[in-house]
Amino acid sequence: MQFENTLAFAKKLDATDPLRKYREEFHFPKVNEKEVIYFTGNSLGLQPKRTKKYVDEVMRDWAELAVEGHFYAEKPWWDYHERLAEPLAKVVGAKTKEISVMNTLTVNLHLLMVSFYNPTAKRYKIICEEKAFPSDQYMLQSQARFHGLDPNDTIVEVKKRSGEHFWRTEDIVAKIDEVGEELALVLIGGVNYYNGQVMDMEAITKAGKAVGANVGWDLAHGVGNVELKLHDWNADFAAWCSYKYMNSGPGNASGIFVHERYLGRKDIPRFEGWWGTKKETRFLMKPEFEPMENADAWQLSNAPILSVAPYLASLELFEEVGMLALIEKRNTIVAYLEFVLKEIDDEVAESTFEIITPKERGCQLSVFLHGQGKSLFNYLMENGVITDWREPNVIRLAPAPFYCSYEDMYRFGQILKDGILAK
């Protein structure tokens, strides 16, 4: 498609966008009495308007039924979370039984490491990416110390090549092969939070399994953003939050994937709780844990219904649209944003920014500002562009296809140009 950096062209793209009606499904903040241009769905997605109905339903059932809501609500609370498994399985490329919803992301990664990181004297090392998201770094370091290991010896970071802003798959695979029989676990962010790079999860998983390691994925920035085939890729486990591209609300419930080969097993190391035992016998209060035959075996406690309800509301939207349609629009709108950025860069006096996101990408473009300080970010925010600042000099732009428009991309470009020229 031949793009044009004009308002008329942007409106033409919006007019032919099959997802355009879904913009009206979301609440937008306002700045200067105008709806914002929202680029931070990679941090917190906008609230779907239908969320209130789902939450109000739970509140009504709590008021009218109290404890009986567990079994007699329209959506009984005791199995409420099960309604999320099938639509989530479609989003992440899994079987329904391989999915559960519980806790929050880092909590779930810790719980999954109980099962999938069991170091021995010979096989104990963990591979992750250089400068992983801090929470992952802290988690891996604390897991190493918990097992009596030195994090500096245990954790192997795959670095970017000098002068490059992205990782090369061949370097990650080479590091896996190098660590070889010492490698216990590969745990990497499937989509990097900083530069927006989508890792070759299939190739990396294959390489890790080939040397006998377990492979897991932190998909905080991947779920609802990129195509995933966790079952077919043979990943051992994955976890993700739901408040970014999944639009379930701040700090909301996390999802997990556990490959079916581990389901129904009593011999696997696992921290266990009441809600992981078989439904059929749960209320008999038996002393012996009998694991659910699905990923719910990793659940500890009953689901936080007021957190899960918004997640179910958002998944209804994903069911209506489907990931393929979202990805198709994502590809076009991100390409248009990239075009607008390059056009603006050509229009100002000198090159002022550099896109550091590689071609393997999802919604996010990370833009390194040359010769610009945080004042440009502040200008954007003050003029209704909600974006994200990362030190030392990067703004992250993530046009989520559910609610961002092509006109947003054009308008952003004009505000960006004004901000640069006003310097």
Whether the predicted pLDDT of 379 surpasses 70: yes
For residues 348 and 128, the model is more confident at 128
Per-residue pLDDT averaged across 59-68, rounded?
98
Question: What is the DSSP track for 231-293?
Answer: HHHT-SEEEE-SSSTT---TT--EEEEE-GGGTT-SSS-----GGGB-HHHHTTT-SS--B-S
Residue 274's pLDDT is what? 93
Per-residue pLDDT averaged across 196-219, rounded?
98
Residue 391's pLDDT is what? 85
Per-residue pLDDT averaged across 199-219, rounded?
98
Per-residue pLDDT averaged across 302-312, rounded?
96
Per-residue pLDDT averaged across 184-196, rounded?
97
Name all contacts of 266-269 with Cβ < 8 Å and 24+ positions apart: 266/291, 268/115, 269/114, 269/115, 269/118
- Give the list of residues 6+ apart from residue 326 with CB closer than 8 angstroms, or none: 19, 224, 318, 401, 402
CATH, domain range 7-35+322-421: 3.90.1150.10
Fold for the domain defined by 52-321? Aspartate Aminotransferase; domain 2 (3.40.640)
- Give the list of residues 6+ apart from residue 180 with CB closer than 8 angstroms, or none: 211
CB atoms closer than 10 angstroms to residue 287: 4
Query: Do you find a cis peptide bond into 291, omega within 30 degrees of 0?
Result: no
Joined tokens for residue 270: 């696992």
CA torsion 346→348→353→355, rounded to 10°?
Answer: -30
Per-residue pLDDT averaged across 285-291, rounded?
94
Mean pLDDT of the chain: 96
Answer yes or no: are the C-beta atoms of 191 and 197 closer than 8 Å: yes
Residue 124's pLDDT is what? 98
Residue 351's pLDDT is what? 65
Give the start-to-end residue ranges of the domains of the chain.
7-35+322-421, 52-321
Per-residue pLDDT averaged across 205-225, rounded?
98
Residue 352: pLDDT band (50, 70, 90) is confident
Whether the predicted pLDDT of 372 surpasses 80: no
Per-residue pLDDT averaged across 162-183, rounded?
97
CB-side neighbour CA atoms (13 Å) of 170: 1
Residue 47's pLDDT is what? 98
Give dist(CA 92, CA 227) in Å, integer. Answer: 7
Q: Could you tell me which residues are beta bridge partners of residue 389?
A: 395
Whether the predicted pLDDT of 350 surpasses 80: no
What is the value of pTM for the model shown? 0.96
Residue 212: pLDDT band (50, 70, 90) is very high
Residue 422: pLDDT band (50, 70, 90) is confident
Whether the predicted pLDDT of 365 surpasses 70: yes
- Which of 60-69, 127-136, 138-147, 340-349 has the lowest average pLDDT? 340-349
